[in-house]
Structure 1
Amino acid sequence: MTILSLILALLLEQLRPISSRNRFYLAFTRMANSLERALNAGEYRNGVYGWLIATVPLLVISVAGYWLLVGLSPFLGLAWNVVILYLTMGFRQFSHSFSGISKALQVGDLETARALLADWTGQHTSQMSEDEVARFAIEQGLLDSYRYVFGTVFWFVVLAWLAGPVGAVLYRAASLLAQKWSSHEQVSPFGRCAAGVLAILDYLPVRFTAAGFAVMGDFEDAVYCWRSQAQAWGNYAQGIILAAGAGAIGIRLGQALHMDHTVKFRPELGLGDAANANYLASAVGLIWRSILLWLAVVLLFSLGKWLA
């Protein structure tokens, strides 16, 4: 049921993409904002309370719904898995912006590419050059592929035996709460719980994702960049994804970037050519090959379980 749920959810998401600003995400975001306003008294324990209030009901609903429906019919349990995966996972939640930027750069429309990148990332991009737009888009695409696909898929597969889609719900909720409560450079005591939970959940899937990039790209360069460059990035988990992805594609990411009306100096990640618009398709290809690799691995494990 696990592999079938993943395939059906991916097909559904390709046929009818769901926006990252859909009503469910917006409702959860509003609840997270309300909890922060109500509970944030500058103490760590308040962040723990807020995290539990925000996530436990969702986990209970996902578990109860799965066991209730699978008790009625395995097909209803499968449908529940697909619906929850459809809401929590999705390549198309960010690939639309990525594709639009690629098309705009191909025809030399830098202003449109900047506008699409700004809407996607929420950053000021008006001073970025064409190569900077391409480089930042590739970075965001690699990170979003992890958040929206690989991280969610990993925890869905790991916990599917326990209670259907609970792993996907757990990871998506933890990711959104960390984004809302601990996205600043200086994390407040209230946001440390959300940041800590996400760091724990990220530990294994980040490394599996980087390994997938290495296998489906330039293996030696990906592993070398991962081991030698990732720690220089401010966020180590992101550094692993970006360094391995850059090495696998054969490009250089990071470096100076014109953003927020200033120049941000960042470590260089990767080897090879400077990232430009020509490599956007290579980044998408790497992500899709890695998704297929993960599906193949899950299929092998499922077959082994069925035959045991």
Structure 2
Amino acid sequence: MTLFALIFALLLEQLRPLGRGLRRLAPVAGVADGVAQRLNDGTVGHGRIAWLLLVVLATLGTAVAYWLLWELQPALAFIFNVVVLYLCMGFRHDLHSFNEIHVALRLGELARAQSLLADWRGGRYHEASASEVARLSIEMALVAAHRKLFGVVFWFVILPGPSGAVMYRVARLLFEAWGERRDAEFGGFGVPARRAFEAIDWLPGRITATVFSVVGNFEDAVYCWRSQAVLWPDRSSAILVASGGGALGVRLGMPVHESGGIVDRPEMGLGSEAGVDHMQGTVSLLWRALLVCLFLLVLLAAAGWVGR
């Protein structure tokens, strides 16, 4: 059931990508904001309680709903799997944004590419060069592919029903809403959300980076992973950017023009300067990685390890 549910969810996302509200899980985000307003006293302890309250309840609730539907009618449980997994992914939108930027750069429409990148990533990039736009887009695509596809699939396979996918998706939502905040007013409330997501994402992130390495330039990907990932400020995405850059043979990171200034960043990856050809290579890398993951799931299903 797991493999077929995944295939159906992927097809559904390709045919009917999630709308803006569904991509951001607006109801869950609203609950998260309400919980933060009521419980945030700036301490790590209250942040831990709030995180457990939302993530554990969402995960257990999904598992119980799946079990009840399975007892009632397995076909209903299968449909529940597909729908929930579909709601937890959402990579199709990011791939669409990436492809639009790719086309704009290929046509020489730098201003349009800068505007599209701003809409996708946030910030302003009117001073960014074509290489900087390509570089930032590739980084975004590598991280989004993991967080909105491969990471979701990993936990979907591990936990019963779609509860693992829900756990990962809600944990990512809280990481983005709470864990990335550094302002004094928010205090340490978001620290548990950041640490918890890093822990949850530790193994799937390394599996995704390994797959990137296998389907790309393996030697360079592993070298960049081992030597450069420690330099990246965002620990949860470091190995994805490093291994992806090495696998593609492109230099990522490095200083970029953003929001009227220059953001200094370490160099990641190896090879030539980022351009439209590397963006096309990124799409190919991601599709190859997906096919490898599906092939592994087929092997696991044949061995009887996956099949609920």
TM-score normalised by L of structure 2: 0.94
SS where residue 22 of structure 1 aligns? Answer: helix
SS where residue 17 of structure 1 aligns? Answer: coil
Cα distance in structure 2, aligned partners of 1:175 and 1:75 = 29
Match of 2:282 in 1: 283
Identify which of 155, 168, 173 aligns with 1:171.
168
Query: Post-superposition shift, 1:58?
Result: 2.0
Runs of 4+ residues deviating >3 angstroms: 184-188
Worse-superposed segment, 256-265 or 18-27: 18-27
Show CA shifts across 1:251-279 (max 9, x none). Answer: 00000100121111111111111111221
Match of 1:240 in 2: 239
Aligned residues: 305
Query: Post-superposition shift, 1:185?
Result: 5.0
Supply the AA of the counterpart residue of 1:167: G
Tell me if structure 1 keeps the 8 A contact 2:104–2:112: yes
Query: Post-superposition shift, 1:56?
Result: 3.1
Cα distance in structure 2, aligned partners of 1:14 and 1:307 = 24
Cα distance in structure 2, aligned partners of 1:39 and 1:149 = 31
Pick closer, same or farther for the CA change 1:191–1:212 going to 2, 3 Å: same
Match of 1:123 in 2: 123
Query: Post-superposition shift, 1:60?
Result: 3.0
Pick closer, same or farther for the CA change 1:307–1:249 going to 2, 3 Å: closer
Cα distance in structure 1, aligned partners of 2:115 and 2:187 = 31
Match of 1:107 in 2: 107
Query: Post-superposition shift, 1:53?
Result: 2.9
Tell me if structure 2 keeps the 8 A contact 1:20–1:93: no
Pick closer, same or farther for the CA change 1:272–1:295 going to 2, 3 Å: same
Worse-superposed segment, 57-66 or 105-114: 57-66
Tell me if structure 2 keeps the 8 A contact 1:10–1:90: no
What is the correspondence of 1:196-207 to structure 2 with a 5 Å cutoff?
A: 196-207=195-206
Tell me if structure 2 keeps the 8 A contact 1:182–1:188: no
TM-score normalised by L of structure 1: 0.94
Q: CA RMSD in A?
A: 1.8
Gaps of 5+ in 2: none
Cα distance in structure 1, aligned partners of 2:166 and 2:70 = 18
Tell me if structure 2 keeps the 8 A contact 1:88–1:168: yes
Query: Post-superposition shift, 1:22?
Result: 2.3
Query: Post-superposition shift, 1:91?
Result: 2.5
Cα distance in structure 2, aligned partners of 1:74 and 1:184 = 42
Cα distance in structure 2, aligned partners of 1:288 and 1:99 = 14
SS where residue 189 of structure 1 aligns? Answer: coil
Tell me if structure 2 keeps the 8 A contact 1:150–1:205: yes
Show CA shifts across 1:203-239 (max 9, x none). Answer: 1011100000010001111011101111111123311
Cα distance in structure 1, aligned partners of 2:100 and 2:121 = 14
Tell me if structure 1 keeps the 8 A contact 2:300–2:306: no
Supply the AA of the counterpart residue of 1:229: Q
Pick closer, same or farther for the CA change 1:33–1:148 going to 2, 3 Å: same
Tell me if structure 2 keeps the 8 A contact 1:216–1:248: yes
Cα distance in structure 1, aligned partners of 2:117 and 2:208 = 24
Match of 2:177 in 1: 180
Match of 2:191 in 1: 192
Cα distance in structure 1, aligned partners of 2:24 and 2:288 = 29
Cα distance in structure 1, aligned partners of 2:292 and 2:13 = 19
Supply the AA of the counterpart residue of 2:297: V
Cα distance in structure 1, aligned partners of 2:100 and 2:190 = 34
Query: Post-superposition shift, 1:59?
Result: 1.9
Tell me if structure 1 keeps the 8 A contact 2:23–2:90: no
Pick closer, same or farther for the CA change 1:171–1:306 going to 2, 3 Å: closer
Tell me if structure 2 keeps the 8 A contact 1:151–1:205: yes
SS where residue 190 of structure 1 aligns? Answer: coil
1:79 and 2:79 aligned: yes
Supply the AA of the counterpart residue of 2:79: A
Pick closer, same or farther for the CA change 1:266–1:70 going to 2, 3 Å: same
Match of 1:274 in 2: 273
Gaps of 5+ in 1: none
1:152 and 2:152 aligned: yes
